[in-house]
Structure 1
Amino acid sequence: MEKQGFRVIIVGGSVAGLTLAQCLTRHNIEYVVLEARDDIAPQEGASISIMPNASLALDQLGILDDILDEVEPLRDVYNWDESGKLLCKTDVPVEAERNHAYAGAFLTRQTLLQILYKHMGAQKDKVLTGKKVTSIEHHSSGVLARCADGSSFQGDIVVGADGVRSQVREQMWKHMDTLGMEKEVQVEREKMTCEYDCVFGIASPVPGMPAPDIYRTYGEGWGILVMVGKNDKVYFFFFTRLDRKYKSHEIPRYKKEDIHEHIAPFLNRPVTDKIQLSQVYNNAEVLAWLPLEEALYKHWCMDRFVCIGDSAHKMTPNAGVGANSAIESAVSLSNTIAAITQNSTSTQLETKEITQHLKAWETSRRIRLEPTWKMAASIPRLETLEKPYHKIMKRFLPLLISLGEPSRTESTIGAEIVNCLPPPSRSYNGLIPYKCHDELSAIIKEKPFHRLLWSLPLLGITGLAFTTMGAVIPKIIPQLIPVMNQGWNTGTDLLNLNDPIIPIKSIDNILRVLVTFFLPSTMGTDLASRAQVFTFLTDANGLYGIWLLESYRKAHSSMGVILPITMGILSQLRGMGLISPIYSILQYSSVSLHDLAKSNNRETEPKTTYTTLISSLTIQALPCLAMFLLPSSQDRKTSNAIWQFFPILVPALQIPVSILLNKFIKPQPKSAAPEIRSKNRARSIKAIRVAYGSFAAIAAVGFTYARFTAPTGSWGVSTFWPGWNATGSGEVSLYKGIAQFLQWDQILTMGTAFGWLALRFRELKKSGVDIRGWKGLLGLVGGTFAFGPGATFALAWGWKEELIHGLDVEVKREGK
């Protein structure tokens, strides 16, 4: 038959094939779908999960509502070990719906195909069944697909949406052979492997397994996945690991009559703590047993051939991402085909021009898909405990699930859409915007490696700390030990420094050294140093509080607080001037402005912000004041000892304080409603304002108090600047050495803090925020002289938070 205009031949009436057809209809591009089977939607026992990234495009196409009528949104996920013990329960599907507006759901493949076909409407005549493609001829002007019934179809390109054993992929390889690519074809033929098989089926309701929950069981060499859908319909998968890795030409095939013999030894395995696999299996209405092939091909297209779905990227079903990825590939390919037709000035497109577009699509799509494919490959290996370390990972599932949240979010918000259609209105109901909303388009996303390079100059401060602070320590430790043995002369009595402070000897030995180190300033023996150290410790109060607040943002997992706690402990042992650059590099390189600007990612719960402030005041600020101001030398020493533990005690105290505040502060409602999101943002920034204002006030009061209580004529640059000769090779007294160490400690700590802020402001400026560098610099200098570096830093950090908040508000307005 003769073709007219640009035409796409889609081989395979699969989920990918029919989705591509729907998209091409919206792009007004001619196509034909050739399905080998006589029924477009046969019942094969297969089931499919639909996740938010696929729902976005299906919603655009007007198909999603019919799908939602057939499903019940997934809710909780239960993870069990092989003895039936609950490993953890999560609400990942519920959280995904809150964040991304669409619920995860499960339905039969047959039902999804019926819905896709129904929505073909007047275009149904372009979907032809009983058309088994046997060969494809590639010509300079187009392709010709020949079918087993003798019919043939001409087109400009041919798309293989025909599954694992793709005829289009086979014909593409033959074409590659004619191009002298035999070796690459041979490598491609070896790509597909199989290490697992699966008995999957659909069962009638099982008592004790209500919809819409998910159940996973982890066993050595086997695994179970059960999802309960609408009307308590049960979709189940039983996986086993094969004896070895099979290559494409030797992958085993299974017979339905052998299923019972295969699964019988495992029927007593737990699905839950009360239900065994046998109870699900005995209710099975449809059963199938298949090998689980895996392949990620290098070549998805060549000249006028292109493959999508399982013919290009075959995944195991454990993660439920195969069909969703196929839908995305179909959507993105339709956009590329539209670009080919729109950008061409010729009615007869050259093969070279088509190839350039398709190869660009392949490269772009593969970048997004490859991490998903690798993730999918890792799930069956974990569920069947393939390696010894998988058994350890099983015990830390809650942590692994939490740590995986940022990558799941990043993957979902990058979902493909049909670019000739607007994003569906429903997609704006999630807490986190999709990239297609263009709300983050102005915010540059740098690669972590590039961010690491930008932060590396901070390592120079660490190097300076080794040559300054590090040079002083060897000079004063030999003088410190005798003082600890003899006691500290306060002028009125002798303070015993040998008595244990805490009963744990190893920690007590370190603690007594740290307490003794601060005695010249806390006891007033060195009045000039007292003024400098007082300002430094009040500065550090706000700095550590900000470290904690940065870790409590919703962009982080619950384990994010480990970084500031660890760095805080090391700062107490080695000096904050040495450790803070390391913290700043790690924090900056791991969290970008792009990450923070994603809706609620930048927020902290108001209650968390307030507990941080209260705990910081109680554990860090009050003991700091007490160790300088209490009349009793012994009380000052005790306060000093308590203060040394603030990196651990501040976050620890937040737990009981949080419980107490539950009576006064309600948690932010997790709703996607715009008015609720607006209120949550307002409450969050209000709490942040209280926090940075309080930290700045404490530091400013400390700076002002130190200025007016310093010895006459001693306040000035020399209070804070030790001079370069402080790192020389000469001897130094105990008082002078400690003073020099703490001066360098403050200079390097606050220098790092301002350097870290500079990197953050650089991101904002690069993203279009109007920041006048010279005005900011003058403000920092003036603020430091007037109120001290700690107060200036806290206010500058607050300014950064206001800018991010303002950026978010402006983005929302533009979106509207």
Structure 2
Amino acid sequence: MSAPDNPFKIIIIGGGIAGLTLANMLEKFEIDYILLEAHDNIAPAVGASIGLFPNGLLILDQIGCYEPVRAVAQSGTVKYAHMRHPDGSSVSCIEDFFGHLERRHGYEMLFFDRQWLLQVLFDQLRHKDRVVLDSHVETIQQFGDSIRVRTKAGKTYTGSIAVGADGIHSTVRHEMRRLAHLSDDPESFPSEEEEDTVPCYYQCSFGIAKDVDNWPERNQCFTSGDGHCFLVASGPDNRVYWFMFKRLPKVKYGKDIPRYTKEDEEVFVQKYGHVPITEDLTFGKLFERRISSTLTPLHEVVFKKWFLGRIILMGDSIHKSNPIGGMGGNGAIETAAAFVNFLLRARNNRPNGLRGLTTVEIEAISRQTQNERYERAKYILKMGHEIQALFASEKPLLTKFAFGTVLPLSGLEHHLSQMGSRLLGGPKLDFLPVPPKPRAVPYDHELPAKPVRGWPLAVIKTLFSVGMGLSLAYPFQAPLLLNTRLQGIYTLSQIISPLLTYTIEGHRVGNQGTLLALPSLFVAGIEAPRVGMSKTAPIHGMVAAFQSFTVPPGRRVNIHIARALVPALSLGYVIPTLFAFRSKSTWKTGLMTGTPLLVPVLTTVLSAVFRWWQNKSNGHVDAESEDFQRYKKDDVPVLRTAYSFAVVSQAVVHAALVAHAYVCLKATPFELATLPFSLTGTVGVLGETAYSILNLRLLGYVTGWQAARVALLSAGGQVVLGPGATMAGVWWWREEVIAGFMKERT
């Protein structure tokens, strides 16, 4: 046991991104530390670049480092993001890619020299005297109440916790294995055999060039190839940062992973210098303009255990992924934040604060940190490996399909959402405010509930699809309570909501490039004799479960489309159906004359008319790019009007027929409750309505209790308002919930 008055101090071993970021965090909370860096320079020129994404920049912003980093990185260096064929020709291009990142996540991506970041992080420290250079750690010893670190220069430092942030070839990790082997419990830390299982699939040439001929300004590109690929990006001061990934002939493990010399690099460049990056630039021509460069193997690993006693590891020493995913430095920042969060919770829960922390308490903090970060680190590792495999054509047919079909057909929102998905799950510093930057996509830590992802989400979607599939094979329909004519009126009235929602979903920016973007296909199915609602509703539900948008910007409907919905519904369906009701012998005309199909058609036509009229009236087109309209919520009030139109119109018909059945047909309350289930396709409509509620919980946008409450109200709404009105009401609620997470610019 340690004495309660024993001063608390953290020894940080390694002055890279993880170590310097942690030092800045500790200073924010007045926690004593010392940082030991092996180099004689805190920001050595090692030829590397760094890409900081919004998840890392948010944390840096919390500790006051974002603006200095942004100034050094000279934001705005990339405008065009290309994906390219092996010959360098462009497959797709996202214009103002970094601008989209900032609007979506509050921060753009910053690509700049790694040593500049290290210098900024060091400059922000108040206690620079706590950073000791030229301090290569040799041994670590643990005692009951402290830990002692000895350097090769013979100096000794004593503290409460040692944090190893010294890279993939970690001396600290080696010492942890040694200490475990000498302890009473040798299995308390994985043996040396774990090192032998670390794989290396690729070698990588990376570096910095300047004033490169034929490099397009303000560009970033991923160029695919056969067993190789490139990531190349513009930087400040006319710099160009490159990564050239080449798959090894055979996977190397552990001690067999080579370390390359400058002679190896020369051979590498001679062999692959002819390979195109763009149509006008080869790797060799880029390399000729280099400022610095390195050839290195790429380890890919998340180690099984991150701590032992009073020692915990961070950064590359515990999780190292392929740099093509851009999450290495950002992951180090995330782990430092998670560690500080749990450290501060321990401080706040103890009468003596951090003084006298026992080894058991320190291990609890370390265990919580690993539990918080382990699965996300594994996800980032898997994601980077899969991106690398795709661009290097490890599975040629898959790469050909992705570049030949998926990328050209997928909408912009799909690309942005896929890229952004890996940014959302990181932590923040819980005891510092989050800067109030406008953004359209919430981080997980801003949501009321934890999102469901991975295999649990896949299982839920599969079970839902199985249920919808069973409704296709075994359609359910309650006994008819009304006569044929009244049943027809009821059926036609309740089709308003499917027509409205299918049309809305078909025009959401996040559904472009999916089957949902073909509303006419589903509307045609409604009126097709052998298809109808009984098959269309379940199919639409299944497609929506797997293809619908997943973040708020994908929700948006073009304002002109939104304004066209009620007129299109009225002119294309409601009015013709009302006229059809006037004749007892032709009540089916509203469904059989094809008027439902007019709704999506008229929506498109009328929206074009509204757009033309607005442009003519204003005398100019909206100055903001059409692609950036997705970050507005001006469509929400207009959609609200459309939903209210559907709710009221369908609820009135439902109430009138319920009253008629009760008064004239003497129906019992139980019979009246079954009326909504007498509709053809009711299972599909109810299923999609229920899943739309559940999906908000899966996304984390509502709590389980909120979802359950709306589900109960929805169940009651089937009887009180009818299925059509209830469906429109749920969609109305869903619209408001999703839009509520978008923080617009003022």
TM-score, normalized by length of structure 2?
0.82
TM superposition shift of 1:326: 0.8
| Amino acid corresponding to residue 113 of structure 1 in structure 2 | L
Corresponding position of 2:438: 429
| Preserved contact between residue 13 and residue 165 of structure 2 (Cα < 8 Å) | yes
* Distance 1:361-1:723 versus aligned 2 partners, 3 A rule: closer
Bigger shift: 601-610 or 378-387? 601-610
Find 2:498's aligned residue among 527, 533, 543: 543
Aligned partners of 1:84, 1:546: CA distance in 2, in Å?
A: 42
Find 1:312's aligned residue among 312, 318, 340: 318
Find 2:611's aligned residue among 646, 662, 667: 662
CA displacement 1:153-175 (0-9 Å, x = unmatched): 11111111100100011111222
1:44 aligns with 2:12: no
TM superposition shift of 1:302: 1.8
| Amino acid corresponding to residue 796 of structure 1 in structure 2 | G
Aligned partners of 2:297, 2:712: CA distance in 1, in Å?
A: 65
| Amino acid corresponding to residue 416 of structure 1 in structure 2 | P
Corresponding position of 1:483: none
1:532 aligns with 2:475: no
Corresponding position of 1:155: 159
Aligned partners of 2:306, 2:370: CA distance in 1, in Å?
A: 6
* Distance 1:194-1:765 versus aligned 2 partners, 3 A rule: closer
Corresponding position of 2:251: 245
Correspondence list, 1:628-777, <5 A: 640=592, 642=594, 646=597, 657-664=606-613, 680-681=632-633, 683-696=634-647, 699=650, 743=678, 745=680, 748=683, 752=687, 766=704
TM superposition shift of 1:306: 0.9
* Distance 1:547-1:452 versus aligned 2 partners, 3 A rule: farther
SS at match of 1:44: coil
1:168 aligns with 2:172: yes
1:88 aligns with 2:21: no
Find 1:796's aligned residue among 714, 725, 729: 729
CA displacement 1:662-685 (0-9 Å, x = unmatched): 3245898879xxxx999x43x322
Whichever of the two has the greater Rg, that structure is 1
1:580 aligns with 2:529: no
* Distance 1:808-1:150 versus aligned 2 partners, 3 A rule: same
CA displacement 1:136-165 (0-9 Å, x = unmatched): 112222211111111111111111110010
Find 1:385's aligned residue among 369, 381, 393: 393
* Distance 1:272-1:664 versus aligned 2 partners, 3 A rule: farther
| Preserved contact between residue 208 and residue 242 of structure 2 (Cα < 8 Å) | yes
| Amino acid corresponding to residue 371 of structure 1 in structure 2 | Y
1:126 aligns with 2:135: no
| Preserved contact between residue 693 and residue 794 of structure 1 (Cα < 8 Å) | no
SS at match of 1:196: strand
| Preserved contact between residue 721 and residue 743 of structure 1 (Cα < 8 Å) | no
Find 1:357's aligned residue among 343, 360, 365: 365
1:79 aligns with 2:30: no
| Amino acid corresponding to residue 286 of structure 2 in structure 1 | V
Aligned partners of 1:697, 1:588: CA distance in 2, in Å?
A: 27
CA displacement 1:248-307 (0-9 Å, x = unmatched): 110112111332321224333222223332331221121211111111111111221211
Correspondence list, 1:290-305, <5 A: 290-305=296-311
| Preserved contact between residue 455 and residue 759 of structure 1 (Cα < 8 Å) | no
| Preserved contact between residue 452 and residue 585 of structure 1 (Cα < 8 Å) | no
Aligned partners of 2:535, 2:60: CA distance in 1, in Å?
A: 53
SS at match of 2:87: coil
* Distance 1:362-1:563 versus aligned 2 partners, 3 A rule: farther
When the two structures are aligned, how many residues end up with a matched partner?
715
CA displacement 1:633-666 (0-9 Å, x = unmatched): 9x9989837458x4xx865765555444432458
Find 1:412's aligned residue among 423, 438, 459: 423
Find 2:407's aligned residue among 397, 415, 418: 397
TM superposition shift of 1:435: 4.9
* Distance 1:163-1:741 versus aligned 2 partners, 3 A rule: closer
1:115 aligns with 2:114: no
Corresponding position of 2:268: 262
Find 1:322's aligned residue among 325, 328, 333: 328
CA displacement 1:756-806 (0-9 Å, x = unmatched): 67768999685569979998877664444xxxx53x33553366258638x
Bigger shift: 26-35 or 405-414? 405-414
Aligned partners of 1:119, 1:764: CA distance in 2, in Å?
A: 39
1:808 aligns with 2:740: yes
Aligned partners of 2:387, 2:470: CA distance in 1, in Å?
A: 43
| Preserved contact between residue 520 and residue 601 of structure 2 (Cα < 8 Å) | no
| Preserved contact between residue 651 and residue 721 of structure 2 (Cα < 8 Å) | no
| Preserved contact between residue 414 and residue 510 of structure 2 (Cα < 8 Å) | no
1:608 aligns with 2:557: no
TM superposition shift of 1:216: 1.6
| Amino acid corresponding to residue 389 of structure 2 in structure 1 | R
* Distance 1:684-1:622 versus aligned 2 partners, 3 A rule: same
1:101 aligns with 2:106: yes
Corresponding position of 2:142: 138
* Distance 1:97-1:140 versus aligned 2 partners, 3 A rule: same
Aligned partners of 2:268, 2:639: CA distance in 1, in Å?
A: 60
Question: What percent identity do the matched residue pairs reach?
Answer: 25
SS at match of 2:370: helix
CA displacement 1:111-148 (0-9 Å, x = unmatched): 11111111123x11111111111111122222111111
Corresponding position of 2:286: 280
1:375 aligns with 2:377: no
Aligned partners of 1:329, 1:210: CA distance in 2, in Å?
A: 36
SS at match of 1:185: coil
Corresponding position of 2:31: 29
TM superposition shift of 1:87: 0.7
Aligned partners of 1:655, 1:68: CA distance in 2, in Å?
A: 43
SS at match of 2:680: helix
TM superposition shift of 1:227: 0.6
| Amino acid corresponding to residue 640 of structure 1 in structure 2 | M
* Distance 1:758-1:369 versus aligned 2 partners, 3 A rule: closer
TM-score, normalized by length of structure 1?
0.75
Corresponding position of 1:561: 516
TM superposition shift of 1:189: 1.6
| Amino acid corresponding to residue 356 of structure 2 in structure 1 | Q
Gapped regions of structure 1 (runs ≥ 5): 473-526, 725-739
* Distance 1:405-1:4 versus aligned 2 partners, 3 A rule: same
1:185 aligns with 2:191: yes
SS at match of 1:663: helix
| Preserved contact between residue 564 and residue 606 of structure 2 (Cα < 8 Å) | yes
Corresponding position of 2:618: none
Aligned partners of 1:252, 1:218: CA distance in 2, in Å?
A: 25
Aligned partners of 1:451, 1:261: CA distance in 2, in Å?
A: 46
TM superposition shift of 1:406: 4.1
SS at match of 1:561: helix
Aligned partners of 2:600, 2:580: CA distance in 1, in Å?
A: 21
| Preserved contact between residue 160 and residue 169 of structure 1 (Cα < 8 Å) | yes
TM superposition shift of 1:576: 2.5
Aligned partners of 2:443, 2:464: CA distance in 1, in Å?
A: 34
